[in-house]
Structure 1
């Protein structure tokens, strides 16, 4: 878009027709009036809420005071029972009883001293480990003597007899071990209170009077001197005492209702003049329930409900209404005064802003006002006017220079090339690419990468004296060099050698992977974009062939790539003609050398150019979309191969690895195609490992993320390479659970000796391990690197050392040889 088009799109300064023009007094006055009214309303509401809070605080303090008083009274009620049970327990321990008979004899002595037993205790019982229960009870309230007895029948412990004054009242079948009080007592050695219960005649000794239906039992386990349990001692207390306590507390007009919540969530309360115990069906808030804090009942809580009149919400009164009306009038007056002081300076300021927007910067902005903020705003706009010219100069600089390094960018280089083209001589464009810049940035940070680029740009400027040097992106240095005869090969070799020297920064030593290309000007009329395109094509060829020397652009040199680029036929026809062959490369476990996976790739047997490896034609097929057809073919052949392998060797396991491209994952029917092939060849999802490489955008694209998430849910394994992991965001890397990470030679080069390279690899492997990923080193071409890779944390490996990509039959033969080695080891 040129400047004229931009000017034509500039908005008009006229007010659009058909729209309202709101005066500034309304813009300022109405919000201010509203704000002031809201302030006074808020003040009234705050005052009302404050009074309500005071009432609420009083109610809470009243509830706590009632609860504490109840706790003290309840403590006075139950403390004698606790002390009595503790005393009997000490007597039994002092006697050194080893049998239940000994314990029963001591307890019977207690029956004979009823005046020493607190009146709160309605009965004493002892259940032995032999299943027998013996005890005595007071038949009437406040009766001192223990007139009643209950004992297991001598010849039939499973039956239970109740006698009163020596006369048997009744007997029935009784299972001591199923009783809750007995089970609770056997759990620990300390004395505890049982949960409230309303049981049968065997359990409940509180059957007289309106408040005598529920009981509590103080229980403790009795052990012999060797620590072996003999049984459980229990002292029953009728809750009618608690009921009487409740009635006294609620007899006034302060407390409406009071209840105790036990640790087992039972609620004890008065209902219809009767003590009632029920589960706490409604949740009890911690703020409503107060701990008793008495004895071992510290886990019991009391909930107090005050009379509704004490916590009633305070209503509006005439004073608050009058305050709000006065606030409304004051708000109107203040709004009118403020508007008169603000509107006129704001109108002047509006005209000044309009002038600055139209770039009419000659007239200084001067506004006299007593309002500090408007004066400050006018001063800021004046500084903006002053800074605009300086910023224009800076913007012009940034338009032709890289903002990070300060060297020429693409536009600056293009302008420099146009100036060089007007002079006589040979003009060359040299591109030098730092191929491992992603790894450098991810490990050492962008700041180190920037300093490295500046250092190498200065090196290029030194070796091409008089040349124009710039930075095209984060990893590519460009130099426009004019000479009489052009650059020779020897000079470029010296330049690349100097560029490949390790870079040292604050004790860090970084190895560089450098590639270079050269493109020369053809003819008098030449565009920089054409020269740069040819240099990039030569750079692409240098990277594909892994050339150590610089590559000069030569159409004949890369005609095979151009032929593939110009390929216009239907890729499905080439597949149907059998021009593509799927090959498999083994992935082995580094420690053992056992083959665990076969990674599928494809070779094109072109009728004109012969065998073309995938790294040459895959990028082109990815760009024109044909990769979808070829990818489906490779996946189908890989699944068929795995199916044949399972049928041939059902007792062995082998994973199949298949690479996925951006275009494949963008196919909306990709997951359906995968599941169809899976069903056709009877392949289980965990046997397939999909590999995502060399495209970090794939980890960020939401459509692709949804496809990969579906694959993950289906059970397929996902593996990414270290390149993609290092340059994606944290969300892109961790949003899915990946199963593996592939690590290339650029990362593990030079790890045979201790140094920075080894530390980098160890850090990458440790990160992958913490994320639950297997570490797979690729490109292994010698045995000496294997042990250092294992020491750094790599588990698996692939590369020429373990075998190149081979056809199905050759791979199966190779797998059989490898498997036989491990079979022989197991047998031996």
Structure 2
């Protein structure tokens, strides 16, 4: 074979061949002017141009398999029939000489396929049946590697391939290589784009993908859009914590498949860990009725139990609803309002629905401003604890005090918990606020306990559900006590009944850890929430606190005393101490004392006052009885009632 020497002489066009060279040059110039972005169409244009310029019957492109042991025909242009995508495969085992020649040369010019040893292995199964007499095959390389073959096939007898024809075929092969490289870049870009716009777990669009599809819909046909639903799986984090991320992923994938049973993928997205979006089509009839019908469909599909192995997971979903997307002009605005709605839904009971209205946007804005203001206030030390006395029911002697959070706002004055406590809890700022307020109280308690008559003095600290979820809480409390010179056993920790809305196993684990630290435990606001006799027996409690809503009715209705008497009897039967809060009249105090309540708290005995004033008022004299306890209001989950004003 002489092909290795050919490139040196391909640069010289023989005299008398100029008309042919001009025709081939013009064909290349025509190809260079085309701007088709479709790689398949562009490749066919290359092959058609090459077939016409070289006057051959068939031009085809074959690409190598990954191990370069076979070539596979991707497409072909036939002079008579046009494009042909019929697949074909040729392996190196069938034609080893042909494959070796492709690897060793730039162009394989077989002027007579019947006598050329490089093509002899192709005669019986390929060349003779098609009547091919001559071939001009050119290797296609990318970054030096052999990636394909551009085959020119002449039907009929032998044919000479002159130098300019071989040069032209090599140029077409180079253009093919560029085209393949461009296609590879496009596929990589599409892959990156797909990764950026899709959720890897469910295969649904992610937040960016949803915004892009909504933007396209708003630009092209907003009238076809109906409601937007945002779905939040209630307490999904509990599944992850209790059973692991693998089970959590299975639940999420199941939710995605159930949604696919109702809507096409183009209408769905997974926005975050446990949130999904549904863009519903516009229905017939009143918009709100159609939107609520979609909510019903989704809720019915998603709230069926999810079963995996031997377990069944009960689910509820909270849904935020924007009834009419067609009224929006911006995808960001629509998603923002839907997020506001689902956030409002998630604040309510499980399985809640919240429909967006304009006033909700203003409330969210105010809430965000308050959250930022709380963070600033915590950094500036504006929060403090005010103490309210608690007395022994039988003697009226001060034996306890409860510390109630106050915010000394630089512009709004002294604020009660109802003005800020919910936002502080939900924004995750409880620990920072408490750390800044608790140290002075702990130091004061440690100082008071040094008096012989007050050696058993205890501090009762109320804990919110978010704090119980912090596994480092016992360590932090113990550290704070030791820094103040106070033994951890001096703490009496209180939880409110709404904490029992969380998984009982998790609450029990947290309380046991605190109890092992040496603290005693009490259940606050008893009778208003979800506690049962089972909780009183199962949890490591030492006391219950009767809620002010019962105490306030003791001297007003006949039913209230019976309820309180039952609470006291039940608590005492399981060995729990009983404290009553919200006591404001002598009659209430007398009834509670007769029932067996040990301690009383309320405006009858004193309002909350600053720590230094409390110490000067109640701790200055020698009359303080042993056993005084100090209770700190929960940093969350409490709203200010009459006794908290």
| Fold agreement, TM-score > 0.5 | no
Higher relative contact order (CA 8 A, sep 6+): 2
TM-score between the two structures when normalised by the length of structure 1:
0.32
Query: Between Structure 1 and Structure 2, whose CA radius of gyration is higher?
Result: 1
TM-score between the two structures when normalised by the length of structure 2:
0.40
